[in-house]
Amino acid sequence: MAGLFDLTGRVAVVTGGNGGIGLGMAEALAGAGCAVSIWGRDADKNRRALERLALTGAPVAAETCDVADPDAVQRSFDATLARFGRVDGMFANAGVAGGGRRSFLEREPAEWRQTFAVNLDGVVASFQVAARHMAERAGAGDAFGRLVATSSVASLLGAARNEHYGATKGALNAMVRALAVELARYGITANAILPGWIESDMTAGLMANEKFVTFNLPRIPARRFGRPEDFGGIAVYLMSGASSYQTGQVVVIDGGYTVA
């Protein structure tokens, strides 16, 4: 069974892979033998993450990329192809929290546009360049591809004062279902991961709020918030041959928060 999860010879991109959930997934993928390219906006943060990933012994690289810029996405993808020769998996993980938890009645249009530009449009651009490459390979007899979006349980629950963020994630859920049907002929699967509350740079402010922790932690049967490394296993599974018949799914990973 060990061979089923051996990713030697595979290549994956993890956007937002220089920290948080993205780095947790990238590290697990590299640990399973996958070559990994992390994309992030902060070159220094990319460098530090790359040093950590290099300890796995897998081939690793980093591209400075803002996924809200389709041209930057294309350049980063071209650079990744030039380095590794192929891309088998696109983990579209980069995202923003939404610019502040304020009332919907006070939400500025600019906040909506920026959140959608990264959380939805950035995933569309990343998936599109990867899927074109994967479909082309399938036409040459090499049918294999993995598209994985980082969504959120905010797409399922009422995310009060964060409706713009939840809306982007709900759109991702719908998109992977559609892509699963459209791209199956190329051997490409499309799935979404839905994290619950995670300890990361993005949530550091909330985690420091005693009222937030007091209210939310008892609602999680696991009695702890998630950690980036909790997403390594699902990343390896969705990248591997073990998930070849699983597509169009939204996979909740939240320690039991949504069923408490």
- Write the burial class of residue 85 (CB in 10 Å: 0-12 exposed, 13-18 middle, 19+ buried): exposed
Question: Could you say which of 165, 186, 237, 257 is catalytic?
Answer: 165
Q: Would you call 245 exposed, middle or buried from its count of C-beta atoms within 10 A (0-12, 13-18, 19+)?
A: exposed
Q: Decide if 165 is catalytic.
A: yes
Q: How long is the chain?
A: 260
Rg (the chain; Cα; Å): 18
Nearest residue to 135 via CA among 186, 184, 90 = 186
Q: What is the distance between the alpha carbons of residues 216 and 23, in angstroms, rounded to a whole number?
A: 25
213 burial via Cβ count (<10 Å: 0-12, 13-18, 19+) = middle
The Cα 233–Cα 242 span in angstroms is: 12
Q: Give catalytic residue positions.
A: 165
